A = this chain, B = another copy of it.
Amino acid sequence: MGMAQRRLSAEDWTGAALAAIADGGLATVAVEPLAARLGATKGSFYWHFTNRDALVEATMQLWERACTDAIIDLVEAAGDPPRKLSLLFTTVLGHARSSRLETNVLAVAEHPLVGPVVQRVTRRRLDYVEQLFTEAGFEAGEARRRALLAYTAYVGQAQLAARLPDLLPADTGGQGAYLDSVLTVLLSPAGG
C-alpha cells in the first residue's frame, strides 16, 4: 500500500468501481465514497467522467473484457472436453472474490447499462459450454440442456459461495468429491 498517487486515470476509477461492485454491489459505486477510497475528491472524477452512469458503463466494459475472454482462453488450453469442464469449474469457483463479483453483477442485470452486457456475456458462455458438451458427444438439444444445467449450477454455486459459504463443503476433500460428483452427473450418458 503506497502513498496516495498524485494523479488518477480513468482506469483507476473503473478498477475501484469494479472492486466496489465485488465488495458491496453496484449500489456502493458512489462517486464520493470512491473518491475517498482513492484519496481524491469528486473534482477528479468529474474530469474523467461526465457522470456516474459513464463510470458504470466503462466498468461493465472492463468486466466484460476481463472476466470472460480470459477464462475461455485458459480453458481452451486443456485437453479433452471433460478436462475442460473440470478446469472450468475449478477455475471459476476457486476464488471467492470472483464469485462475489459475478453474483453482484448478475444481481443488477436489470440496470439498463448492465443488462445488455450481462446478456452478451452469459449467452457467449452458454454457447461455449454447449460446445464443450457437443464435443463430448451429446446431440445438439441435449448438449444445450446440459449446458444450461451446468451454467445454472455454476450461477447458484457462485451465489451460495458468496452469500452462504457455510453451506458448501468446507474441507478440500469434500470440495474435490463434490466436483467429481458434479462432473460425473453432468456427463452421465443421455437416457433414452
A residues bordering B, Cβ < 8 Å? Answer: 25, 27, 103, 106-107, 109-110, 115, 118-119, 122-123, 126, 141-142, 145-146, 148-149, 151-157, 159-160, 163-164, 166-169, 177-178, 181-182, 184-186, 188-191
Known contacts being A141-B177, A146-B181, is A156 close to B163, with CB within 8 Å? Answer: no
A119, A123, A148 pick with most chain B CB within 10 angstroms: A148
The listed residue (B115, B145, B159, B182) touching A181 by CB distance below 8 A is B145
In the complex, which residue of chain B has the Cβ closest to the Cβ of A155? B156
> A interface, by DSSP: helix, strand, loop or mixed?
helix
Count this chain's copies in the assembly: 2
A151, A156, A182, A191 pick with most chain B CB within 10 angstroms: A156
Nearest Cβ in chain B — how far from A94, in angstroms? 16
Known contacts being A27-B27, A118-B163, is A149 close to B155, with CB within 8 Å? Answer: no
Interface pairs A-B: 3 shortest CB-CB? A152-B156, A155-B156, A156-B156
Q: Is the CB of A184 within 8 A of B178?
A: no
Which B residues lie within 8 Å of A189 (CB)? 188
A-B contacts besides A110-B163, A149-B153, A159-B159, 7 pairs, CB < 8 Å: A107-B163, A142-B181, A146-B181, A148-B168, A152-B160, A153-B156, A155-B155
Which B residues lie within 8 Å of A166 (CB)? 119
